[in-house]
Structure formats: C-alpha cells, structure tokens
Amino acid sequence: MKEIIQLHDKKFRIMIPAEKIDEAVSAVAQRINQDYADKETPLFVGVLNGSFMFMSDLIKKIEFNNELSFVKLSSYEGTSSTGQVKSLIGLNNSIEGRHIIVVEDIVDTGESIEHMVRDLEARKPASIDVCTLFFKPGSYRKQLPIRYRAMEIGNEFIVGYGLDYDQLGRSLKDIYVVTE
Ligand code: IMP
Ligand code: MG
C-alpha cells in the first residue's frame, strides 16, 4: 500500500490497513450473528454510495438467512420555502413487520442517519438497528442509539473502503486520513 496519496487538492496518509478493517468487520458481524440468530429473515439496508464495500464484506460473514437492499438519500431543491428536501429512494417493497439493519459507512454528526431511520420508522418495521463502519463520537449530536460501530475515530476526515473525498478514494482497500 502507498503511504501517501493525493486526491484533488489534498494529501492523505495511511491510517487503517485492510487487515485491520477486516478484523473489525468480523467482530461486528459476530455480534449481529448472535443478536439476530432467532429473528425472522432480517433485511440489511445499505446506504449508497459509501456502504457498498462494507456491505459486501459484512454480508459474507452473516450466518443467518437474510435479504439485502440498497437505498440512497437524494437531495433536490424542494418547491417549498424550506429549500432542500431529502427523500429516500430504492425501497420499493414493504418493510412492514421486518427486522431492519441499516448499514452505513460513517456516522459523523448523525444528521443523515437520523433522517434515514425516521423515514424507515414511518414504514412500520418490527425493529431497526444501525450498523456503521465508522463512528465519530466527538461530533455525534443525536440521541438515536447507534448499536453497531465497527470502529470509532476522532474528528478527522478519512477516505477509502467506500468513503470518498469529492467522489475520489472509494475504491481504496485501506483507510487514509487527510494531512494538515
Ligand atoms: P453526518 O450526517 O454528519 O453523520 O454525516 C454523514 C455523511 O457525511 C456520511 O454518510 C459521509 O457521506 C459524510 N462523511 C462524514 N465524515 C466523513 C469522512 O470522514 N470521510 C468521508 N465522508 C464523510
Ligand atoms: Mg453515507
């Protein structure tokens, strides 16, 4: 792996190698396997684009029968005076009565995940848990419990393993952190 990479105007240095990520994904998958062993066909809902790589590795370690789907929060200019409106696209089938595990790349302030969970709750699932690859405890501002956190980091900006800096860096198998 490269020690330093350049994406757009910024330099990033290696922070978490692929092997460490794999260990963290295995650990969180093991917890989910235990907690969900007796639940009726849970549905994993990945939030695009960032969660695609995490979902791919996580789901291979899941030992119970499951279903998988991806959603996207699309922002568009609303016609109302409130301006920006975000809507959830991609969930075409009913999730009523289902056990949902939302799979996220990173929870920072919690704004996005709270929005996502509120939207899903309105569709009356049996339960919702959140599983995020990264959690930033220093910037989280919400009350919503984040049950599964594969790794916790400081308030630094990272890329790789699905996470991007202005769309670059998603394909990296290791995690890089921005340098000052
Ligand atoms: P939140 O709504 O503040 O929790 O931010 C969540 C979203 O911001 C994530 O889904 C990412 O798209 C983006 N984000 C937050 N921190 C990072 C980071 O360190 N690297 C890449 N994207 C990030
Ligand atoms: Mg995201």
Q: Is 7 in the pocket of ligand 1 (CB under 6 A)?
A: no
The backbone region for 95, taken as left when phi is positive above 0, alpha when psi lies in -120 to 50, beta otherwise, is alpha
Which active-site residues does the annotation give?
Answer: 108
The 10s digit of each residue's pLDDT in 119-168 is 999 999 999 999 999 999 999 999 999 999 999 999 999 999 999 999 99
Q: Is 151 in the pocket of ligand 1 (CB under 6 A)?
A: no
Q: Is 109 in the pocket of ligand 1 (CB under 6 A)?
A: yes
Task: Determine if the pTM surpasses 0.85.
Answer: yes
Ligand 1 geometric centre to CA of 95 (Å): 26
- How is residue 152 written in tokens? 């916790």
φ, ψ for residue 54 (rounded to 5)?
-60, -50
Q: How far apart are the C-alpha atoms of 33 and 121, rounded to whole Å? A: 23
Ligand 1 geometric centre to CA of 65 (Å): 30
Sheet strands side by side (includes 99-107): 84-89, 67-77, 43-47, 99-107, 127-135, 148-152
The 10s digit of each residue's pLDDT in 7-19 is 999 999 999 999 9
- For the CA of 104, the nearest atom of ligand 1: 10
